[in-house]
Amino acid sequence: MESDGEGTPPPEQACGAGHRASHSLPTSAGGRVCLSCAVALLSSASSAPAHHVSHALASLSLALADPAFLEPLRAAHPRLLAAPLADALAGAAARRDAGLAAQASDLAADLAAAVGPPAASELVARIARVLSSGSLVKHLHTLHCLGILLNSTKDAAAYIGDKHSLYLNLVNDLRLPSDEIRGEILFVLYKLSLLNATPWDDIHGNNNVDLSAIGRSLIQFSLEVLLKTQNDAVRLNCVALLLTLAKKGAFDILLFSDQSLINSAEAEDYVPLNASLVILFADAVKGSLLSTNIEVQTGTLELIFHFLSSDANIFVLQTLIDENVADYVFEVLRLSGNNDPLVIASIQVLSLLANSEERFKEKLAVAFSTLLPVLHYVSEIPFHPVQSQVLQLVCICIVNCSGILSLSQEEQIACTLSAILRRNGNGELGMSSETFALVCSMLVEILKSPSADDVQKLPSFLEEASKLAISLTFSHEYDCLFLVPHSLLLLKETLIFCLEGNKDQILRKKALEDSIIETCKTYLLPWLESAVVDGNDEETLSGILQIFQIILSRASDDKSFKFAEMLASSSWFSLSFGFMGLFPTDHVKSAVYLVISSIVDKVLGFSYGETIRDACIYLPPDPAELMYLLGQCSLEDFNLASCQCAILVILYVCSFYNERLAADNQILASVEQYILLNGGRFPHEIPGSLMLTLLVHLYAFVRGISFRFSIPHSPEAEKILFHAMACKEWDLLLIRVHLIALKWLFQNEELMEPLSFHLLNFCKTFCEDRTVMLSSSSQLVDIQMIVELVYTGETCISSLLVSLLSHMVKEGTEDEVLSVANVITEIIVTFPCTSDQFTSCGIIDALGSIYFSLYSSRIKTVCSLLIFNILHSASATTFTCDNDVWLALTMKLLDSFNSSLDYTSSDQEQKILIGILCLILNHSANKVLIEPAKAIILNNCLVLLMDGIVQEACAKGPSLFQHNQETAFGELLILMLLLIFFSLRRYGAVLLLHLIACV
């Protein structure tokens, strides 16, 4: 390098050695660099003084950074320095001059970067040639330089002449003891693999090469390096190389000598030829997994993942598990601190290891607590890459390691799973389909664990999770039908869970049961209503029907009845036949009829649903066919008779919810045809009284409806049924009854005799319980129905009750008299205006007979109260025709009154009698009951009693104020004063004269 001082660069001239002037390139500092001199010196670097070569390298390094030098070099001499620089690098390596070699290596890299492909390609070719033969023990920097060139030069592999020799030499020298050399070799091999410059990438050009042998050597030597080294840089290069090979499928070729055995029948017992290589792999990766370098750990985990993904997966899995690689991966996961790349890589490996379930589950059980923080971490991140894999691992442990979970862990997992569903339910959409399925499956497994009932907060988590799962999959906004089976399974198992256990456990889960029933009402029932229109899948329909059946058959009586009422009120029977039409399979038909039978059990009681279950296999799926079957003769066909009983039950229950499986006239015609052909005879296996009762009520209902719309009927069918009602056993109160049917029955005078018997039974039961209770608390026939029929005045119930009372009085049956009187009293108290009806029917005559008979004071008290209510509420015109009856009754009441009452009496019956006398006197002011009123006024004993009570009251003086209506004397005094008041209103003068005469 020459310099002419400052100023403009001198004109082009040759150097002092006489080299060509064109090789003398200027610098911006005013000097020149003779390329020929540099070439000559570098080419003889092995023999030239080291400091000369070093000076030349330093000068060239500075010149390459100078644009004045670089531009003409790049334009005119791009290749000139490459060859001698490669020689200089080789010479420095030969002299084992590490400093000079490092300097030459750096300059070569700078030259390739500055000049570009012309220099780079030459450098790659020459350096590769140097490294293709001989020991690489002294070529640390040469290897480093080639690695840099391969990393920075485009298509660098194309400039390597003998790739096979280079590759083979590099592989063989992996056995060198130096970590630095092996690290550089591994990096070069890694780059060659990336550049597709390996023997496997040129199979056609290596026909005589044993690729398996090279591959086995490469993997074995690389794994030995990985096993022995403690240097993270070497580990990183080694892992990078092995990972690249794994991605290319090299392991599939190298692990087994006979690939045909892998999937053969003998594969399970087949021991691979290179089992030692797999064991070496397992031992080698352990150290890298324990490295503190996250990049090394992540790369190693990726390597294991691809290694496990080979065709020989089953053998590799078992070996790695047996060699405790899973334990190391769990340890990486435990110490990861939720580092996302580490978490992802670890879980991917563990998911593959889990494919060997039998061997892996023991490892998983030991390290299970490590997964729980990871589960919580991935659940917080929407669509986390390994969210489903973590869930799968936890699920495997729950399924295969029964009893491993503590109560707190079960609660923690349930809480996390509920949170996943909650976030998705809030619109975050942070969950894949696989995740959803796994969440449902895991919750189901927790539900099945023996300790589920002991997890205090589990019901609340399940309440939220089951509702969210159903709402997500049954929303019309998203097409989630493929997830529906998972949500339905979760809901079903949750329902079973809340219905099982001891009494305290079931009580604690009451809110969960309520939530499930509400979920069915809010989501599943509307979906079923749309299913008939949309034609959705049969599996979903069956799943929902199964859940409904569990509620109806196993929930508490109150809840199951309300649920049955809710379904029946939602056009369930029409929907049911729609389901059977949409899915004409035996499975759907059986499921639909089973639910119908359970609804019938709840709303009718007495196991009427059993008739449907017994005949289910023969019942048709079409309502029109039901009507046809009902109108057939079944005297010789038990199966048909069973079907007809089931049809009658279905039609009757439908009528309560304003559902019609056919037109009213068609239903009436079918029922009449049934009566005409079968005469109300039922199979011996079916209780005749139950079915005849139902037939009576159904016929009465359809007749009551048909009467409204003037639908013609069959008198012959009516006659046959009336005859059956008179001759056979049936019970008006046995099942739930329509007011329409009851009204029609009590409008027929032909039925008065059989109806009087049932009405008497009603009165007896009402007297005992104040209500008529059927098979469950929901099936009630209350007094209100009878009251309403009396109130309308369209039936003969009032006259029938009076007739019953008269008959019972004549029979002398005290309890029956009491029952009928109580019912009549209740009717009058509820609707006072009905007093006129009972009075017109002759009730006073019947009541008067009681006072002429030897009945107990209890009966007389009840009858006196009834008379009091009649007098209190009936209109005055009602009493115009029965003056003699009332007079006889009044005289008998006065006799009873006089025989026992004194001013100290506290008998309730006598006080009611005084009230009756007051009301008779009050009515006499309206010119009715004149004679009974006179009899009261002119009764001497009554006058004396009144006088005695008044005198007693006067004698008490000021202390009389202490005798109010709450005392016996006070009550009697008030009643007597009222009697005097009503007497004075009409007959004041007569009474006054009578009192004077008595005094």
Residue 671 has pLDDT above 70, yes or no: yes
Query: What pLDDT is stored for residue 931 in this prediction?
Result: 85
Task: Fill in the amino acid letter for 19.
Answer: H
Query: What pLDDT is stored for residue 17 in this prediction?
Result: 64
Contacts of residue 957, Cβ cutoff 8 Å, sequence gap at least 6:
none
Q: What is the DSSP letter of 570?
A: T
Q: How far is CA 101 from CA 85, 178, 258, 513, in A?
A: 10, 17, 47, 81
Q: pLDDT grade, residue 264 (50/70/90)?
A: very low
Query: What pLDDT is stored for residue 899 in this prediction?
Result: 57
SS3 call for 431: coil
Query: What pLDDT is stored for residue 537 in this prediction?
Result: 80
Residue 238 has pLDDT above 90, yes or no: yes
Query: What pLDDT is stored for residue 914 in this prediction?
Result: 81
What are 574-586's pLDDT values in tens digits? 999 999 988 899 9
Question: Residue 919 and residue 926: Cα distance in Å, rounded?
Answer: 11
Range 381-420 burial, b when 16+ CB lie within 10 A, else e: eeebebbbbbbbbbbbbbebeeebbeeebbbbbbbbbbbb
Main-chain dihedrals φ then ψ at residue 612, nearest 5 degrees: -75, -40
Q: What is the distance in angstroms between the CA of the first residue and the CA of the last residue of the chain?
A: 168
Cβ distance 321 to 353 under 8 Å? yes
Counting residues of the chain whose pLDDT is more than 90, the rounded percentage is: 33
Q: Are strands 2-3 and 772-773 parallel, antiparallel or unpaired?
A: unpaired
Question: Residue 199 and residue 290: Cα distance in Å, rounded?
Answer: 33
Closest of 13, 16, 1, 95 to residue 55, by C-alpha: 1
Query: What pLDDT is stored for residue 170 in this prediction?
Result: 92
Cβ distance 420 to 439 under 8 Å? yes
Residue 958 has pLDDT above 90, yes or no: no
Tokens standing for residue 442: 């895991």
Q: Which of 19-28, 56-65, 89-98 has the lowest mean pLDDT?
A: 19-28
Q: pLDDT grade, residue 4 (50/70/90)?
A: very low
Tokens standing for residue 193: 């693999």
Question: Residue 517 and residue 548: Cα distance in Å, rounded?
Answer: 9
Main-chain dihedrals φ then ψ at residue 2, nearest 5 degrees: -115, 155
Residue 310 has pLDDT above 90, yes or no: no
Cβ distance 46 to 52 under 8 Å? no
Angle at 545 between CA 490 and CA 654, to 5 degrees: 145
What are 548-565's pLDDT values in tens digits? 999 999 998 889 999 999
Q: Which of 299-313, 663-677, 716-730 has the lowest mean pLDDT?
A: 299-313
Strand-pairing partners, residue 33, are 25
Counting residues of the chain whose pLDDT is more than 70, the rounded percentage is: 85
User: What mean pLDDT is predicted for residues 42-53?
Assistant: 76
Query: What pLDDT is stored for residue 996 in this prediction?
Result: 47
For the chain, the average pLDDT equals 83
Which of 208-222, 321-335, 708-722, 760-774 has maximum average pLDDT?
Answer: 321-335
Residue 833 has pLDDT above 70, yes or no: yes
Question: Residue 129 and residue 86: Cα distance in Å, rounded?
Answer: 10
Closest of 932, 936, 852 to residue 892, by C-alpha: 852
Query: What pLDDT is stored for residue 635 in this prediction?
Result: 84
Question: Residue 879 and residue 873: Cα distance in Å, rounded?
Answer: 12
SS3 call for 621: coil
User: What mean pLDDT is predicted for residues 790-809?
Assistant: 88
Tokens standing for residue 974: 């008030």
Quick one: CA torsion of 232, 237, 240, 241, rounded to 10 degrees? -140
Higher pLDDT, 883 or 219: 219
Residue 403's region, left for phi above 0, alpha for psi from -120 to 50, else beta, is left
Task: Fill in the amino acid letter for 131.
Answer: L
Q: What is the DSSP letter of 12?
A: P
Range 458-481 burial, b when 16+ CB lie within 10 A, else e: bbbbbbbbbbbbbebbbeeeeebe
DSSP run (H or E) holding 33:
strand 31-34
